[in-house]
Amino acid sequence: MGVVAIVSDIHSNMFATEAVFRRIDEIGVDEIYCLGDVIGYGPDPEPCIDLVRDRCTFTLKGNHDWGMTGDLRDFNPMAQESLMWHRRRLKPGLFSPGKKKRWNWLLTLPERVERDGDMFVHASPRDPIKEYVLRSDGFLYPEKMEDLFSRFEQRCFVGHTHWPGWHGVDFRFHQVEDDRTSFVLPESQVIVNVGSVGQPRDGDPRSCFAVVDGLRLEYHRVPYPVGETQRRILDIGMSSWLADRLERGT
């Protein structure tokens, strides 16, 4: 592949999504891939769906996208509340062609894409919708990592945890920090987490996405008006906890 921007975990955060796509346009890339969770948690699913659908070469199905029709018992109460609101907001009626288009797009998103030996999923190579690949898995669950690495050829790009960084064949997690946002990936297998656009959880409230150019992996942090998104969350009656966590980046 050429120079590719990879975004994930948009979570209906319009202000963050617009800021990220502006940055991507400034950088200049050949393609944009989205690893899912376009919706959930945030207040503005429609413009996020429209922008991602129009700009991305492909978009994968995340667990929140799956939650539009799936069983919600595996989700925490805040996520359940948000997904029920999203269902009411997005599910089309008899005379709503715009809603029907978005709804059908969400329901038909693929679970995985493979290109030139690279795998792209939302969650993990053995469970592309729900399984977390955590920073601690390398030393707590090496047998899990061994199984995951057996399921792809070269590189596997994921989102889901909202925590940017990558695992090598030694299973160690290479964390993205303020003073290190660029890596040269090894030619051996890696699992790369691209971070989150709409709800970062690594202590940095700025949006995060990755740019891949051959073996070079570069993370970009993009500020956006967090307060505006917080106000939108409160205006539609969602929990203040969902608004507060955006400011903390947790």
- Residues sharing a CB contact under 8 Å with residue 131, sequence separation 6 or more, in sequence order: 123, 124
For residue 243, count CB atoms less than 10 angstroms from its CB and return exposed for 0-12, middle for 13-18, buried for 19 or more.
buried
* Strand-pair partners of 193: 158, 165
**pLDDT (tens place) for every residue of the chain, 250 residues total:** 799 999 999 999 999 999 999 999 999 999 999 999 999 999 999 999 999 999 999 999 999 999 999 999 999 999 999 999 999 999 998 777 779 999 999 999 999 999 999 999 999 999 999 999 999 999 999 999 999 999 999 999 999 999 999 999 999 999 998 777 999 999 999 999 999 999 999 999 999 999 999 999 999 999 999 999 999 999 999 999 999 999 999 9
Give the CB-side neighbour count of residue 38, counting CA atoms within 13 A: 29
Instruction: Give dist(CA 238, CA 39) in Å, integer.
Output: 14
Distances (CA, A) of 91 to 87, 220, 226: 6, 34, 27
Asked if 249 and 205 touch (Cβ cutoff 8 Å), the reply is yes
Q: What's the CATH number where 146 sits?
A: 3.60.21.10
For residue 74, count CB atoms less than 10 angstroms from its CB and return exposed for 0-12, middle for 13-18, buried for 19 or more.
exposed
Distances (CA, A) of 239 to 174, 194, 217, 234: 33, 27, 36, 7
Domain that holds residue 219: 4-248
Query: How many structural domains is the chain composed of?
Result: 1
Distances (CA, A) of 73 to 7, 36, 195, 230, 238: 27, 20, 25, 26, 19
| Per-residue model confidence as pLDDT tens digits over 161-203 | 999 999 999 999 999 987 779 999 999 999 999 999 999 999 9
89-98 burial: b if 16+ Cβ within 10 Å, else e? bbeeeeeeee
Instruction: Give dist(CA 110, CA 121) in Å, integer.
Output: 9
Single-letter amino acid, residue 46: E
